[in-house]
Amino acid sequence: AQSVTQLGSHVSVSEGALVLLRCNYSSSVPPYLFWYVQYPNQGLQLLLKYTSAATLVKGINGFEAEFKKSETSFHLTKPSAHMSDAAEYFCAVSGNSGYSTLTFGKGTMLLVSP
Amino acid sequence: DAGVTQSPTHLIKTRGQHVTLRCSPISGHKSVSWYQQVLGQGPQFIFQYYEKEERGRGNFPDRFSARQFPNYSSELNVNALLLGDSALYLCASNPMGQPYEQYFGPGTRLTVT
């Protein structure tokens, strides 16, 4: 069984500040981990993914995440927030078989103020 | 190349009615998955189809069913609609059932009144 916990349903930052969105996972098999972003009234866009290669993963729009097995964490960071980063962010986990499906967290809404 | 497309974009139905949602995967993708996203929650897995066969089913009642066609497009059917079925229904496709290449469509917003 797999599960994802995202700490904080809302995170507020000022433009230019560090963004840190937290994700902890539980998995009985070596996991694949993902961060998706969802803008209002849109589908999900993949930001980055961890698939058992490098533990520090770089994604689109300046985001990156680090896989820490000992902490079962996969936190998302961005050094400097931009107004356009305001959206909802979802962490997801899947198994590593061909038919594994995604288990999502409840999401974190990122609010960016000028 | 076109991404995953879904139709309709929005839909309003009455309790007890039936609804069919449609999804066309990215060209060349043979696997389609369906997710339900209730307002304020993360998406929940409903079905996965690969090469026209059901490969996975989430914890949803039998009122939910799906199928995949020879051209790999898919339909999600929901019978006897309940107010709680109001949600954004997302379709995702991937090439060979690999877990790390899911591409999502824009979703169908279903409102049940």
Question: pLDDT per residue over A28-77, tens digit each?
Answer: 777 899 999 999 888 899 999 998 778 899 999 999 999 999 999 999 99
Residue B73 is encoded by which pair of tokens? 């497009």
Give me the tens of pLDDT residue by residue for chain B, a chain 113 residues long. 679 999 999 999 999 999 999 999 999 899 999 999 999 899 999 999 988 999 889 999 999 999 999 999 999 999 999 999 999 999 999 887 566 678 999 999 999 99
- Per-residue pLDDT at B78: 98
Nearest chain A alpha carbon to B90? A43
- Per-residue pLDDT at B32: 93
CA-nearest of A112, A109, A113 to A37 is A109
Nearest chain A alpha carbon to B87? A41
C-alpha A25/C-alpha A31 separation (Å) is: 9
Q: Which residues of A touch B45 (CB under 8 A)?
A: 101-103
User: Which residues of chain A from 57 to 96 reach within 8 Å of chain B, CB to CB?
Assistant: 90, 92, 94-96
C-alpha B64/C-alpha B46 separation (Å) is: 8
φ, ψ at A99 (rounded to 5°): -110, 20
Q: Which residues of A touch B100 (CB under 8 A)?
A: 32, 34, 49, 51, 94
How many beta carbons lie within 10 A of that of residue B100, not counting itself? 17
C-alpha B95/C-alpha B108 separation (Å) is: 22
C-alpha B37/C-alpha A103 separation (Å) is: 12
How many residues does the structure list for chain B?
113
Burial of A99 (0-12, 13-18, 19+ CB in 10 A): middle
C-alpha B86/C-alpha A91 separation (Å) is: 23
Shortest Cα distance, chain A CAs vs residue B15, angstroms: 24
As a whole-number percent, the residues of chain A with pLDDT over 70 amount to 96
C-alpha A65/C-alpha A14 separation (Å) is: 20
Please indicate if any CB of chain A lies within 8 Å of the CB of B58.
yes
Please indicate if any CB of chain A lies within 8 Å of the CB of B64.
no
φ, ψ at B83 (rounded to 5°): -55, -35
A44 and B104: CB-CB below 8 Å?
yes
- Per-residue pLDDT at B98: 65
